[in-house]
A = this chain, B = another copy of it.
Amino acid sequence: MRPTYFERGAGLGCAFLLLSVGAVSASGQSATKSLAEKLGYSRDAKLVVIHADDLGMTHAVNAASIKAFATGLVNSGSIMVPCPWFPEMADYAKAHPSADLGLHLTLTAERVYYRWGPVASRDQVPSLIDENGYFYLNWTAENRINPQDVERELRAQIDRAEAMGVHPTHLDSHQYRLYQSGPELFRALLHVAHGYQLPFFLVRDWFKDYPYLEASVGGDDLVVDHTVTIDPAVPAEKWAAFYSEALEHLQPGVTVFIIHLAFDDEEMRAATRERATWGAAWRQRDYDFFTSEPFRTILREQKIQLVTWRELAKAFR
């Protein structure tokens, strides 16, 4: 099996972790009902969230994600509140109250030619911004991120979303910064999520490499079993094969596919031109596969059920 990829800051100085799809069992909830069972499925059911990340980043991301939602094949997503095109997604969320939309909590700006900064007042979150007032592209060992700044900014993002009509079904973290940056920042996420009573993306498979994740959560926190996301080692021509294989070898339990949709157009090419990873062509390939008939066929043939974060949260309560 090809690996999935728990890292968005490729090559920017952060450790990363390769997870083997199929190598980790879905055990760990044997004493209690599994998430699948709580949802009314058998313990060996294969349940999947097809989750589009980075909504709000650009118009090309929004347009592709909205079109993919309309197919029913992509059934969840999360929105970046600090990004310039957030209002377009807020407008969509208001018009589609049953859409399964969470917040992709964002503390980095990632791109070079197109940038954004915090929702909180800049002087309230000094450790999060560079000398020009933007979020850092990514964090390195030199960044001293203050967990209090993080909490303030996360609350500001959730508050703006709510004020603009987005009622998130879940939270997650852009570039996995809040999972991979040590226990203090993960606890900042936990603290905020608990305060707003929102589930957050957390995967049992991550626990062996980041033990503080498991040590920090309690029985009231929803933990999904597996995640799949493609990585830069997969050549473009193997894109569909990677996803097909992952779907055909799915383990029982709840698996979240983290995908990145956009149209490969002028805006997206310009916004991502400094590197190909998670770039315009990458995202167009994700869009092409996850809106395709072959994908629909695999779901049917493999008896894979799509579930949403809203359903997971309701079943878990």
Contacts and interface: CB of A to CB of B under 8 A. Distances in A.
Interface residues of A, number: 35
Contact of A267 (B119, B124, B156, B266): B266
Copies assembled? 2
A85 B59 contact: no
Interface in A101-144: 112-116, 119-124, 131-133
Contacts of A263: 266
A203 B209 CA distance: 65
A87 B115 contact: yes
A116 B85 CA distance: 9
A45 interface: no
A140 to B, nearest CB: 19
A44 interface: no
B115 A84 contact: yes
A113 B265 CA distance: 19
A131 B165 CA distance: 13
A198 B122 CA distance: 27
A163 interface: yes
Contacts of A59: 114, 266-267, 270-271
A131 B84 contact: no
A297 B87 CA distance: 44
A114 B132 contact: no
A132 to B, nearest CB: 5
A223 B164 CA distance: 43
Interface string A253-285: 000000000010111001100000000000000
A88 interface: yes
Interface of A: 58-60, 62-63, 84-88, 91, 112-116, 119-124, 131-133, 156, 160, 163-164, 263, 265-267, 270-271
5 contacts: A87-B112, A88-B114, A132-B160, A265-B266, A266-B267
